[in-house]
Every structure is written in structure tokens, then in C-alpha cells.
Amino acid sequence: MAAARLAARLVRDPLVIGPSGVRSPMAAGDPDAQFDAFYTACFSRVRKALGALTHDTHAAEDATQEAFVRAKRHWPKLMAYDKPEAWVQRVAFQRLRRIQRSRRDQPTDESTVEHPDPGADLADEVAQREELYAAIRTLPRRRAEVIVLCHLRGYSRCEVATMLRITESTVRTHLALAEAQLHRLLGLPDTGHQGETG
């Protein structure tokens, strides 16, 4: 039941991104126009997934943009993929890790921290989302990636394993540990049924 509450909390989040985006092979036509449509449909979803992992909006934006630049270079091959967005998400995660490593020793610039300015009606939802994202950010990197991809992005465990280049059993382990840790951090009861979604 607690896993269902956690999943419900993730699903009602206004930034939750449904199952992975644009499916290919794409319809025949101009590859540049196809890429433009893909970019328009997917950019914000990839960016929001990275935003759940870091407060540094510039790093999330840079990593997302660089992943799409690489996608553009490889578009003739990517457009034939079943889920080119999964490829972009994996590249964006990798790039975010590199950016975070390179900035680790640099002082934090407060201007890069996202401070939402919600209206009165959205304040509670924003506070809950920020509490959830803050809890996700305390997880070890791989667990945070797995929870974001499985619960926020809606990828299956098999898809996450492929994207992160780990085994499906490793995904299950990271997911169970991440869910248990989030339950503790968010004050939700832990029923021991983690990792069963996806």
C-alpha cells in the first residue's frame, strides 16, 4: 500500500512525465522536420527528469541541450529507434553527471537554483513536489536515476536497464532501496513491497 501511495504521489505531480515519448520509426518525410517535431515533443520531458535530480537548472538545461545536439548529429540512425527519447535521456543523464563532477569543487551560484513562484492555489502542490524532489536528490545517484526513470518517466525496468546499461535485477534492487529510502524521508509507512512497479 505504501508503494502505491508513493506512486500516487509521483503521478499527481504536475511535472510527472508519462511513458516515454515519441515512438519511431517516424513517418516518412523531411528528417529535419521530424527532428524538430521530436525536439519539441521531448525536450521539456527530458529536462524535467534532470530537474528532479538537481537544483542546478543551468546544468539540467545544458545537459539536455547537449543531448539533443548529439541526437541531431545521429538523427538518421536514431529516427529508426523504437524510443529515441530513451537514448536522449541516457545521454542527458551522462552529461549531467559530467557537469556535476566538473562543478563539484566550484562554489554554488544561488542564481542557478530554481525558486518557483507559485500562485496560492499551487503552493501546496509545489511544496509537495519540491519535498519529493529534495528527497530524490538525497538518494545515491544511480538510485535517483532509477526512481526518476521508473516512476516519473514511466519506463519499464527492462527499458531502464538498457538505458543505464545495468541488469534488470540491479534496477529492481536500486528501485526497492530508493523507494524504501523515500518512504523514510517522506514519512510514509514502508510495507516492504517496493520495486514491484514498472
Q: Which pLDDT value is given to residue 172? A: 95
How far out from the chain centre does Cα 190 lie?
23
Q: How far is CA 140 from CA 11, 53, 174, in A?
A: 22, 10, 9
pLDDT tens digits for range 133-142: 999 999 999 9
CB 10 within 8 Å of CB 153:
no
**pLDDT given at position 17:** 38
Of 19, 73, 13, 8, the residue nearest 42 (C-alpha): 19
> Tens digits of per-residue pLDDT, 139-154?
999 999 999 999 888 8
**How far, in Å, are 135, 145, 159 from residue 91 at the CA level?**
24, 12, 14
pLDDT in tens, 3-51: 555 555 554 443 433 444 444 444 457 888 999 999 999 999 999 999 9
Q: Which residues lie below 8 Å from residue 108, measured CB to CB, with a gap of 6+?
A: 56
Are 114 and 164 in contact, with CB atoms under 8 Å apart? no
pTM: 0.66
pLDDT in tens, 106-130: 655 545 445 445 454 466 777 788 8
Residue 18 confidence (pLDDT): 40
CB 88 within 8 A of CB 17: no
Residue 15 is which amino acid? L
pLDDT in tens, 51-108: 999 888 899 999 999 999 999 999 999 989 999 999 999 999 999 999 888 877 565 5
Distance CA(87)–CA(71), nearest Å, equals 8
Peptide bond preceding 25 in cis form (omega within 30 of 0): yes
- Interatomic CA distance for residues 159 and 173, integer angstroms: 15
State the amino acid at position 130 in one-letter form.
E
Q: Cell 535521456 sits at which residue?
A: 89
What is residue 186's predicted lDDT score, i.e. its pLDDT?
A: 87
Show me where the domains of the chain are located. 2-186
Please tell me the distance from the alpha carbon of residue 81 to that of residue 75, in angstroms, as a whole number.
Answer: 10
The runs of H, that is alpha helices, within 75-192 are: 75-78, 84-103, 123-138, 141-147, 157-164, 168-186
Per DSSP, the residues of 109-122 read -GGGB------TTT
Do residues 135 and 99 lie in contact, with contact meaning Cβ atoms separated by under 8 Å? no
